[in-house]
Structure 1
């Protein structure tokens, strides 16, 4: 599923490399405390899921090396380090994000790779576990990245997080005046359970851990709230809407998650020939 922009070489170069400081503003913390808060609240649960999924598969997480591709500002690398995993590194195309992250680590953990290097670092990494958190949907050539991983004899596990075609996308189809979170800007690919299964079959992966959760109900809440504001409803109506909606938001989202209809999924994949 393609988003608002054609996924050309020029588009990727402009968004992630040439104007990387503008893009990086989405992930740049005001200070170290904000960096630590974002790491703990968003990325540590992802790292804990990976850690637990590996252990559940009979793997000692401490005996593996980890490489985070598309590491951005290093939040996931930071989260892995907080779990006591020491052999952790990452790479990103944004020099400004890499430089910022390395200033916060006791010693540099991230390197910068060229956006047009044909995913060379995926072909040459010697890490057993490669993570791509919110990365595949930004790549011009996701198949090439997966092929590189498949051909690398050192890589045994791939941990991904991708946006999915879910209720949120239908909401975006209905209103162009509310920010589109799923199919906007750099999100040029979306996935489904079927397409992920197809991907695993094509590249000889098997799913050994999956975590479906999303923010579809938050997107619905946001869209309704904005439209109530636009239509100048009374403050009483807005307060009543908030009170009612927020009482069931989490439980309703959980039902979507259980049905694998959520706006995001984390998957731990294992190469069948590993």
Structure 2
């Protein structure tokens, strides 16, 4: 595990690992012996995505703190109980634990979703098999926060229902995609709306949703632009490190 150079630091890259509590303790000790501090995320899952954070750990309980409702996707997944490691450099000896590599892209979506498209997406049966019960329970204060964040990113939206529709439909698109581009390893689903209208991009970036695809293109949500300083509307490319079977059955014909 070598320290990254200044030149490498200017290139945005994050390596994603999922490990057990025991493995996290061993990694923390190993890094400490090399003079590298493994930071622990506090309250929010997305702060390790900040370019300034070299390597961070997200404990299972963090998914049930500030973003409890959004953390339901994690708690409903096979990753529940595992520690997330987000690193700017690859970890020797943890190759089998690596889930993905995240880099910046210059992707421009060929089309964004209309309200009608989003309504179709939230009717997808596969979505409802995975939908956390807590996802549908939104406090008034949270509604106000998301409306304020959307306006902060340039949207004129004043209806939270529109945001909830957009948030849910976007996650659905990474379960059974309608919006995607073709890649050499199959389809590449992408975020269906601008950053202002998204939520919890962490579940796609960290391979909680959409891990069946070799690649994804994910736009940061408002929280990630605020707490991780990601660029609004700048899509990130998520490349899975595990070769997946043919994913033809996982998508709809495009609209």
Please state which band the TM-score falls in when normalised by the shorter chain.
under 0.3
More helix by share: 1
The normalised TM-score by structure 1 is 0.25
TM-score normalized with structure 2 length: 0.26
Q: Which has the larger radius of gyration?
A: 1
